[in-house]
Amino acid sequence: MTHSDLLNIAQNAPGPSYVYDASKIKHQYNRLENAFSGVKKLKINYACKALSNISVLKFLKSLGSGLDTVSHQEVLLGLEAGFTPENIIFTPNGVSLEEIETVAKMGVQINIDSLSILEQFGTKYPKIPVCIRINPHVMAGGNSNISVGHIDSKFGISIHQIPHVLRIVENTKMHINGVHMHTGSDILDIEVFLHASEILFSTALQFKDLSFVDFGSGFKVPYREGDIETNIEELGEKLTKRFKEFCKTYGRTLELAFEPGKFLVSEAGYFLSKVNAVKQTTSTVFAQIDSGFNHLIRPMLYNSFHQIINLTNPEGRERFYTVVGYICETDTFGSNRKIAEISEGDVLAFKNAGAYCMTMASNYNSRYRPAEYLWYQGEAHLIRKQETFEDLMQNQILIDFKEKVEA
């Protein structure tokens, strides 16, 4: 997919739009699969919270992916996309027992990260296989908002509480068929990840009827020119060797599972928006676009970096711009960025817009959520229409206020 392809999509779209390159998603999926080609049983479960459009889910299913979900609604989306319950894992946090029960009755693999819920579920449904999510107390990412394996995280059961888990299992006679960890996003240091893996292996040895070991994901992708990323090939080589040794110690070959989200879809995505105005102040040149954090909140929420390209004038003389939106609050996408000269009406493309972008969009300021396109086999396919005013009003109920009449 070229810059001219993106520009053509933007010029024919009704407003700001997301575009995803199917070939890049496939490339990343194959890359992960090849990195662990030495593993006899490998399962890749796409973390659909990153990008949950049903066409994207169906495309990943065609590649052989399973599905990692965090809500009952994501499970329903997965089923609509054609995933069988056996190929879906449910890894929620802080949800009710009732929601877990609902999903379990569908035949989906359950993953529990709370001692209380584990005991309640095991007491009621001892024959339903359950995976447990542990917290290895390892900081593998570089941001406290996306590193979820640290000691004070709300995610997972502490490794120091494994004796409690074993007591619950013994008392309820429940079946633990998997152990899971997720240390967080943007993993750079492979040795830290491998250290956390040793904790997971040690935990796994305490359960005798496992079918799989799930290492989560959080692999870093590049955001800038020359940016560093997780060396997935090196990780594959080292972890494959260690996993085989573990399986030999365990006494049989288990399935090695991952749940990548950002790794598969981040680089495949572009967010396209037009420039409404170029505004010069005393010290700043603002490029004001027809979007805001209602469409792309990551730069404001996580201070994340998205490279910005002027698709209309890609070879123009570079100048410094602060790119902002049209929301009635501060919504700065990038400050003092060097971008090819911008004029009103130009189309800007934000890179790395495939993960946690559209899925976090809202209707703030009563703005419409944008359209989505999948670039597949040399053609742009509309996979979500831009919302309309009717969509905003669909679930609202206007009540009749009658004036109080004095007697």
- Residues with catalytic annotation? 328
Q: How many CA atoms lie within 13 A of 23 on its CB side?
A: 8
